[in-house]
Amino acid sequence: QYEIYATGLFSGAVPQLPTDLSQLEAAVAAHLAPGPYGYVAGSAGDGKTAAANRRALDRYEIVPRMLRDVGSRDLSTELFGKKLSSPLALAPIGVQSIVHPDAETAAAKAAAAQQVPFVLSSASSTPMEQVAEAMGDAERWFQLYWPKDPEVTKSFLKRAKDSGYRVLVVTLDTFILAWRPRDLDQAYLPFLRGVGTANYFSDPAFQAGLDKPVEEDPQAAVGHFIQMFNDPTKTWENLPFLRENWDGPIVLKGIQHPDDARLAADAGMDGIVVSNHGGRQVNGAIGSVDALPGIVDAVGDHLEILFDSGIRTGDDIAKALALGARGVLLGRPYVYGLALDGQVGVEHVIRCILAEFELTLALSGHSTPSSLTRSDLRG
Ligand code: FNR
């Protein structure tokens, strides 16, 4: 990761995009139309919870330790039985063709090139098989929005398995879309490229439920999708269905309450993502990192705990790990990189945040992510 640092200091060659990732959002605001920009940057309601995510992370501060021989560092981390090169993964983000024509394929290739797992959204604008092919044998996970129709669910799980997605991430917090004023005020769907080839619409079981093919009546297909894409009636009792139809690790995304974390453990899940969907669902909910310590205390010995919502810098990663997360998912920042410069932009974001994480880790007195503990933080 030192390469970025050294190159930047000597020649300034790297920063075609800013290395201070906090500047990316403003660059994207200037680059995209308001609809697509609002889709990515926006959140639920008046944005209280998106702001709380940041505030909660900023409230924790690292207390660095000295003279601890950090000459040889290793960011590698085991997640769900596989050794990965760092504790970072790219979060599932739907319909990426809204911000760049290369969409998920570019983001997935960037993840593969940087050896970071890519979590493909159910709501991908690219069929999962095509994304898998672009990734070769790189680590990929599939995120499920759990459809109402069990046949569609089974079809998704089979397609994901057949195309080499190893971990299933089931998102629980978005069984309906929240009140998102920016999306309501500024349409973004007109920017979606190729509805007919989107992951959902190209699914044979989904198509079987349509009266007319997608190309003939795209509006009816979108209506059917909205009815079907998720299900507000599901309960913890439904989880065995997933186990019966998926033989790899299952991770529940969107957990904020320790009791739900316990229910996930009781249901035999492999992991959870402590997440509030980047503040896009329950406005007025707590900052996601404030949910983390209580959940780690409740189930840290039973489940692998990942964290997302608000991660923007290398020190944010260190804080989440110090509070007991095994790994973190990065959301909006990589989509900003995608919007600005396709695959190159996503790789830039991954390299910068990992470089900053490694430096922060070392300068705080640690050689490995796993040695971070709560005593490294104040807050
Ligand atoms: C999301 N997120 C999301 N989650 C999911 O499970 N499936 C999805 O399709 C999407 N789509 C999506 C679109 C956009 C534009 C955003 C910003 C987010 C949530 C995502 O996986 C993650 O939880 C948050 O983005 C994390 O917060 P930060 O890093 O964006 O603050």
Name the residue of 39, 280, 288, 313 to mutate for ligand 1: max ligand atoms within 8 A of Cβ. 280
Give every residue of the chain whose pLDDT is below 50, as ranges: 13-15
- Sign (positive/negative) of CA torsion 80, 83, 84, 88? positive
Name the residue of 171, 277, 338 to mutate for ligand 1: max ligand atoms within 8 A of Cβ. 277
Which letter does DSSP use for residue 92 in this model? P
The alpha-helical segments, DSSP class H, found in the chain are 2-11, 24-31, 34-41, 48-59, 103-113, 128-135, 150-162, 181-185, 204-208, 218-228, 239-245, 258-266, 288-299, 314-322, 332-363
Biggest alpha carbon–alpha carbon distance for the chain: 69
Q: Is 323 helix (H, G, I), strand (E, B) or coil?
A: coil
- Angle formed by the axes of helices 103-113 and 332-363, nearest 10°: 20
What's at 101, amino acid-wise? P
Q: ipTM of this predicted complex? A: 1.00
Q: Which residues pair with 61 in a beta bridge?
A: 378
Q: Smallest Cα–Cα separation from 252: which of 283, 128, 239, 124?
A: 239
Please report the pLDDT score of residue 104 as a whole number.
98
Please report the pLDDT score of residue 197 as a whole number.
78
Tell me how far the alpha carbon of residue 330 lies from the centroid of ligand 1, in angstroms.
Answer: 9
Q: Look at ligand 1, atom 29, and give the residue with the nearest C-alpha.
A: 331
Please report the pLDDT score of residue 318 as a whole number.
98
Residue 165 near residue 118 (C-beta atoms within 8 A): no
Residue 106 near residue 112 (C-beta atoms within 8 A): no
Please report the pLDDT score of residue 228 as a whole number.
86
Tell me how far the alpha carbon of residue 120 lies from the centroid of ligand 1, in angstroms.
Answer: 11
Which letter does DSSP use for residue 91 in this model? P
Q: In the numeric block, which tokens belong to residue 379?
A: 């807050």
Q: Is 89 helix (H, G, I), strand (E, B) or coil?
A: strand
Tokens 């997440």 found at: 275
pLDDT digits (tens, 9 = 90+) for 65-107: 999 999 999 999 999 999 999 999 999 999 999 999 999 999 9
Q: In the numeric block, which tokens belong to residue 342?
A: 């396709």
Q: Look at ligand 1, atom 5, and give the residue with the nearest C-alpha.
A: 92
How far apart are alpha carbons 274 and 266 in whole angstroms? 17
Please report the pLDDT score of residue 13 as a whole number.
47
Please report the pLDDT score of residue 134 as a whole number.
98
Domains of the chain: 2-378 (3.20.20.70)
How far apart are alpha carbons 245 and 359 in whole angstroms? 42
Pocket-forming residues, ligand 1, beta carbon under 6 Å: 39-40, 91-94, 121, 123, 143, 171, 253, 275, 277-278, 280, 308-311, 330-332
Residue 83: count other Cβ atoms within 10 Å of its Cβ: 8
From the candidates 100, 224, 277, 348, give the one annotated as an active-site residue. Answer: 277
Q: Is 257 a catalytic residue?
A: no
Strand 377-378, strand 61-62: pairing: antiparallel
How far apart are alpha carbons 309 and 276 in whole angstroms? 6
Tell me how far the alpha carbon of residue 167 lies from the centroid of ligand 1, in angstroms.
Answer: 17
Please report the pLDDT score of residue 193 as a whole number.
79
Tell me how far the alpha carbon of residue 53 lies from the centroid of ligand 1, in angstroms.
Answer: 13
Tell me how far the alpha carbon of residue 6 lies from the centroid of ligand 1, in angstroms.
Answer: 33
Q: Which residues pair with 255 in a beta bridge?
A: 274
Residue 340: count other Cβ atoms within 10 Å of its Cβ: 23
Q: In the numeric block, which tokens belong to residue 254?
A: 């969107």
Please report the pLDDT score of residue 291 as a whole number.
98
What's at 206, amino acid-wise? F
- pTM for the whole structure: 0.96
Which distant-in-sequence residues (6+ apart) come within 8 Å of 88 by Cβ? 116, 317, 327, 328, 329, 330, 350, 353, 354, 357
Please report the pLDDT score of residue 8 as a whole number.
67
Which letter does DSSP use for residue 303 in this model? S
Q: Look at ligand 1, atom 25, and give the residue with the nearest C-alpha.
A: 331
Q: Look at ligand 1, atom 9, and give the residue with the nearest C-alpha.
A: 94
Three-state SS letters, 205-269:
HHHHCCCCCCCCCHHHHHHHHHHHCCCCCCCHHHHHHHHHHCCCCEEEEEECCHHHHHHHHHCCC
